[in-house]
Amino acid sequence: MNIVVYGAGAIGSLFGAILSKNNNVVLIGRKSHVETINKNGLIVKGKTNIKKKVLSFENIKNVSSPDLMIISVKSYDTEKTMIEAKKLISKKTVVMSLQNGLDNLEKIEKYVSRDKIAVCITTHGAIFSKLGVIIHTGFGKTIIGNPNGENTNKLFDIVKIFNEAGIETTVSDDIICEMWIKGIINSSINPLTTIFNCKNGYLLENPILDKLVEKICKESTDIAYSYGLDLDYNEMIMKTKKVIYETNENFSSMLQSYKKGKKTEIDSINGVILKIGKKNELNFFLNDFLVHLINSI
């Protein structure tokens, strides 16, 4: 399959490197990263070890329309990226969002119809170590689905090539629900770990933060429910605490962005939940507070 990964950072470069085992992969990323890859090959260390030449560019000038375009920029870059990326989209192209955040689908939909979009939720972990080098920090599960639940043969082909490459992947008939489950979990973990500059595990060790996680999770789940997602609070809190427990030694992506002095994805996670909470006249105090606090620091 011909694949373009748009946004060769941590997760995009990892998936690109793994998929390049049995597909034609082109990476589009920042100049310094792609120049290093073209010179030395793309290097993946940690849970996976790969060193491979993967064709990389800083723009789409010499790239042809792919069968699969993976969008792996941060949520705040999706819109800008799509303006450029749309030029590569042809009839055959499936555009797949490999991102966290609850508003990427709407941003992508402005440029491509829903039937040609796939959403990919993954619990793999990756860190951008240095130019040309990615660390695969943790294996995880990956779920792919069409947002309308209309999973075509093409989508099953994509799932097949993911599995063949070694990315354990399943299809979901309700990928929007999966996206929201991850969104609610992130809304309850990421801002708190950033404000308290702590590893995920500290949220369970500190009894006050443990209670606060529960309260945020409840508010986010109630808002998601009002938006039509049939999610149960008790299940969501269990899932959230399980993630905290399993990633207790990790620094959340939001905290990592903050430490690097970069923008965070707060507006696409808690910010979206807040907007829906306001619109549906529900309690949104905690999400409002977190969005303001994170944006102010």
Task: Write out the catalytic residue numbers.
Answer: 182
Give the number of other CB atoms < 10 A from CB of residue 161: 18
Q: Among residues 81 and 221, whose Cβ is nearest to ligand NAP?
A: 81
- Here the contacts of 254-262 (C-beta below 8 Å, separation 24 or greater) are 254/186, 254/190, 254/191, 254/193, 254/194, 254/294, 255/190, 255/193, 255/194, 255/197, 255/198, 256/127, 257/74, 258/194, 258/294, 258/297
**Would you tell me which residues interact with ligand NAP (CB under 6 A)?**
7, 9-12, 28-30, 72-75, 77, 80-81, 84, 98-101, 122, 125-126, 128, 253, 265
Q: Among residues 100 and 187, whose Cβ is nearest to ligand NAP?
A: 100
Q: Taking the complex as a whole, how short is the minimal distance between the CB of residue 154 and ligand NAP, in angstroms?
A: 22
Closest residue to ligand NAP, based on beta-carbon distance: 9
Where in 239-297 does DSSP place strands (E)?
none
Q: Taking the complex as a whole, how short is the minimal distance between the CB of residue 11 and ligand NAP, in angstroms?
A: 4
Residue 35 buriedness (CB in 10 A; 0-12 / 13-18 / 19+) = middle
Q: Among residues 3 and 98, whose Cβ is nearest to ligand NAP?
A: 98
Q: Taking the complex as a whole, how short is the minimal distance between the CB of residue 99 and ligand NAP, in angstroms?
A: 3
Q: Taking the complex as a whole, how short is the minimal distance between the CB of residue 282 and ligand NAP, in angstroms?
A: 25
Q: Taking the complex as a whole, how short is the minimal distance between the CB of residue 12 and ligand NAP, in angstroms?
A: 6
Residue 179 buriedness (CB in 10 A; 0-12 / 13-18 / 19+) = buried
Contact 204/246 with Cβ under 8 angstroms?
A: no
Q: Among residues 107 and 218, whose Cβ is nearest to ligand NAP?
A: 107
Give the number of other CB atoms < 10 A from CB of residue 46: 16
Cα distance between residue 290 and residue 297, in whole Å: 11
